[in-house]
Chain A
Amino acid sequence: NAGVTQTPKFQVLKTGQSMTLQCAQDMNHNSMYWYRQDPGMGLRLIYYSASEGTTDKGEVPNGYNVSRLNKREFSLRLESAAPSQTSVYFCASSETGQGSAEQFFGPGTRLTVL
């Protein structure tokens, strides 16, 4: 099993450009998450999807949109990139269950917005 995979690994954008970050998991997990991590900081939740067909905002959703394409895939879109969105983006997945679920993280996408 590959676990959680993310593409691309690195990306450089100019201000105003758009792009989609892809995430896929092969563990048959119901829940998926997008986080961002700024230098020297902890991760912050952008959006999450508790199950296929549902998405909800996290702590820092402004400037992003998400799509839960199917059970395996959860994409994050930046419609008009800004320098403040320069960060490392992590996708994660977990079983659904109240209060007790280990999250598995992907390797991250390092995004620079010029």
Chain B
Amino acid sequence: DAKTTQPPSMDCAEGRAANLPCNHSTISGNEYVYWYRQIHSQGPQYIIHGLKNNETNEMASLIITEDRKSSTLILPHATLRDTAVYYCIDLKAAGNKLTFGGGTRVLVKP
């Protein structure tokens, strides 16, 4: 089973880009990389996902290395409301079962 590793915490200045790294060196070829975030005590919120290609949506961009061993979530212009725990997750091929690790606690500072 693939497993992801993330730094436990990072700070970011408001208005600047936040780059969140994730290592998933044992990910298999048909497993997607998903990013979720959890603001305070709310339920997790989907951000973005990808398989091989870089992806962008209204919330963020996802850059996946060519060997798929790591990825970076980019929040282009961080706001105070982006303060949250960000989870990088591998999606097992069967059953869409998410495996949450410890995540990265991101603090956006004014």
Q: Is the interface of B mostly helix, strand, loop or mixed?
A: loop
Query: In the complex, A33→B49 CA distance in Å?
Result: 19
Task: Determine if A77 is an interface residue (Cβ-Cβ < 8 Å).
Answer: no
- For chain B, residues 39 to 84, give those with C-beta under 8 angstroms from any C-beta of chain A: 41-46, 49, 51
Q: In the complex the two chains form, is A105's CB within 8 Å of B49's CB? A: no
Query: What's the interface size class on B, roughly?
Result: 20 to 34
Q: Binary interface profile of B, 1-43, with partner A (CB < 8 Å = 1, else 0)?
A: 0000000000000000000000000000011100010000111
Q: In the complex the two chains form, is A99's CB within 8 Å of B91's CB? A: yes
Number of interface residues of A (CB under 8 A): 31
Taking a contact as CB atoms closer than 8 A, the residue among B49, B51, B93, B102 that contacts A41 in the complex is: B102
Chain A contacts to B: CB under 8 angstroms: 4, 31, 33, 35, 41-45, 48, 50, 56, 58-59, 88, 90, 92, 94, 96-108
